[in-house]
Amino acid sequence: MAGDHEDSSPTSDSDWASSDDASLDVTTLASSVLNYVYKVRLAQITTYHTLPTPNPDCRMAGDIMPTAQALSQPNDDEEQDRMDLLHHIYALILDGELHLAPIKSHPERVLDLGTGTGIWAIDFAEVPPNCQFEVDDYEADWVYSRPFDYIHGRELAGAVSNFDRLFRQALTHLKPGGYLELQSFRVEVYADDDSLDRAPYTTKMCALIQEASARFGKPMANMDEWADKMIHAGFEDVTCKIFKVPISPWPQDRKMKEIGKYFQAQQMQGITSYVPELLSMMLGWGKEEVDVLMAHAKRELVDTAVHQYGKLYFVYGRRPVK
């Protein structure tokens, strides 16, 4: 597998994070990031910044998978705020960038798979008329008549049953030299010391989520296979980059602490949104069992003596020019 591993190893402190309702409310935090200014490298500040008027040939297509193809997933206002907050976390990690693949400066056609609230697609298109949304199943046959310069998928772990097929279809629908890029957190927690001993319920919860998603046929922890599968599908220059991301504000480093603060809030909501359905539907857990597990995991989440972090994967490859 071609690739490199980027990891940040922030130092830590052992104080307790604030766990009051306001500090962990996703709606409040999502609202607070609306005017956030990111440190974006000027060479890649935006795709359509110089367009004086909308260009009908520059289109973003946001492809949304119908919920009938997956486990029931929440789609209320609070969950949409959580997804937008996760977008902010990505932006902090990438210093405002939206991708790592070395795509050309002004791609004309871009496809965003499983677009969620659409915030990534809108940010990428910049000029709203350049962005259109389509409801379709990206695991069915793709029927696009024109190829894309760039295909993007964020947080598709747990939403794809056949990555080999997905990669083959993406390759077919890319222009020569075009890129496919997937970005996703692995559903697992890590620590570089023994502090995970203080979080047995969190580690158990992640293992159960992995088991449940695998039984459902849409695994949430198979990112290490993606690069090899891309190569097998025919992609070139396949690269895998992995970032360590704090799950709570335990690091001393200012930027990493801020990322951890936001991640802690979205994780708190994410536990409530996804764990009950997965454990009850796929593993047969009862409500009381699930509630106890979630309560303990949330308590461990606000303990910054637990130096837990997640791994964020960026995997991209290029369709051969010839």
Q: What is the DSSP string of 195-240?
A: GGGG-HHHHHHHHHHHHHHHHHT--SS-GGGHHHHHHHHT-EEEEE
Q: Is 255 left (phi over 0), alpha (psi -120 to 50) or beta?
A: alpha
Using DSSP's 3-state secondary structure scheme, residue 18 falls into: coil
- What pLDDT tens digit does each residue of the chain (322 aa) get? 444 444 444 444 433 334 444 456 655 665 555 555 554 332 222 222 223 334 334 445 555 433 334 554 566 778 888 999 999 999 999 999 999 999 998 899 999 999 889 999 999 998 778 899 988 899 999 999 999 999 999 999 999 999 999 999 999 999 999 999 999 999 999 999 999 999 999 999 999 999 999 999 999 999 999 999 999 999 999 999 999 999 999 999 999 999 999 999 999 999 998 899 999 999 999 999 999 999 999 999 999 999 999 999 999 999 999 8
Which amino acid is located at 49 in the chain? H
Q: Give pairs for 212-215: CB < 8 Å, separation 24+.
A: 212/278, 212/279, 212/281, 212/282, 212/283, 213/158, 213/187, 213/278, 213/282, 215/282, 215/283
274: closest CA among 192, 157, 100?
Answer: 157
DSSP reduced 3-state for 125: helix
| Pair of tokens at residue 2 | 């071609």
- pTM score above 0.85: no
CA distances from 43 to 9, 47, 49, 55, 97 (A): 28, 10, 12, 21, 11
> What pLDDT is stored for residue 136 in this prediction?
87
pLDDT at 41: 31
Structure tokens at 265: 């809030």
pLDDT of residue 49: 25
Question: What per-residue confidence (pLDDT) applies to 69?
Answer: 41
